[in-house]
Amino acid sequence: MTEENLPDLQGEDYQAYLLDRVKHLEERNSQLREQKRRLETQYRNAENDRQRLSREIKHLKAEMEKLKSPPLIVGYVKDVLEDGRVVLKSSTGPHFVVHVADFIDRTTLKPGDRVSLNQQSLSVVGVLPSSLDPAVYGAEVIDAPGISYADIGGMKDQIREIREAVELPMTKPELFAKVGIDPPKGVLLHGPPGTGKTLLAKAVAHHTDATFIKLAGSELVQKYIGEGARLVRELFQMAREKAPSVLFIDELDAIGASRYEASTSGDREVQRTLMQLLSEMDGFSPRGDVKIIAATNRPDMLDSALLRPGRFDRIIEVPTPDLASRKEIFQIHLRRMNLDTGIDAARLAIEIGDQGTGADIKAVCTEAGMFAIRDDRDYVTMEDFRQAIRKQIGQRIASSEQLSKDQAFA
Residue 407: pLDDT above 60?
Answer: no
Q: What CATH number is given to the structural domain containing 275?
A: 3.40.50.300
Q: What is the pLDDT of residue 143?
A: 63
Regarding whether 260 and 167 lie in a shared domain, the answer is yes
Residue 9: pLDDT above 60?
Answer: no
Q: Is there a contact between 212 and 144 (Cβ–Cβ < 8 Å)?
A: yes
pLDDT per residue as tens digits for the range 185-235:
888 999 888 888 888 888 888 888 778 888 888 887 777 777 788 888 888
Q: Is there a contact between 298 and 251 (Cβ–Cβ < 8 Å)?
A: no
3-class SS letters over 207-247 = HCCCEEEEEEHHHHCCCCCCHHHHHHHHHHHHHHHCCCEEE
User: Structural domain tally of the chain?
Assistant: 4
User: Poorest-confidence range of 58-72, 232-246, 299-313, 344-358?
Assistant: 58-72
Q: What CATH number is given to the structural domain containing 356?
A: 1.10.8.60
Residue 286 DSSP symbol: -
Q: What is the pLDDT of residue 400?
A: 57
Q: Is the peptide bond before 71 cis (omega within 30 degrees of 0)?
A: no
172 HSE (CA, 13 A, CB side): 8
Q: What is the pLDDT of residue 287?
A: 58
Residue 2: pLDDT above 80?
Answer: no
- The confidence band for 282, taking pLDDT boundaries of 50, 70 and 90, is confident
- The confidence band for 408, taking pLDDT boundaries of 50, 70 and 90, is very low
In a domain, 140, yes or no: yes
pTM reported for the whole predicted model: 0.66
Last residue of a domain, one of 68, 84, 118: 68
3-class SS letters over 302-356 = ECHHHHCCCCCCEEEECCCCCHHHHHHHHHHHHCCCCECCCCCHHHHHHHCCCCC
In a domain, 366, yes or no: yes
Q: What is the pLDDT of residue 213?
A: 83
Q: What is the pLDDT of residue 370?
A: 92
Q: What is the pLDDT of residue 234?
A: 82
Regarding whether 245 and 182 lie in a shared domain, the answer is yes
Residue 382: pLDDT above 80?
Answer: yes
Task: Give percent of the chain above pLDDT 90.
Answer: 8
Residue 176: pLDDT above 50?
Answer: yes
Residue-number span of the structural domain to which 84 is assigned: 73-128
The mean of the pLDDT values for the chain is 81
Among 138-152, 272-286, 366-380, the range of highest mean pLDDT: 366-380
Regarding whether 180 and 53 lie in a shared domain, the answer is no
Q: What CATH number is given to the structural domain containing 97?
A: 2.40.50.140
Regarding whether 362 and 308 lie in a shared domain, the answer is no
Average pLDDT on 265-287 reads 74
Regarding whether 168 and 285 lie in a shared domain, the answer is yes
Last residue of a domain, one of 302, 317, 332: 317
pLDDT per residue as tens digits for the range 301-338:
888 888 888 788 888 898 888 899 889 999 988 888 88
Q: What is the pLDDT of residue 406?
A: 47
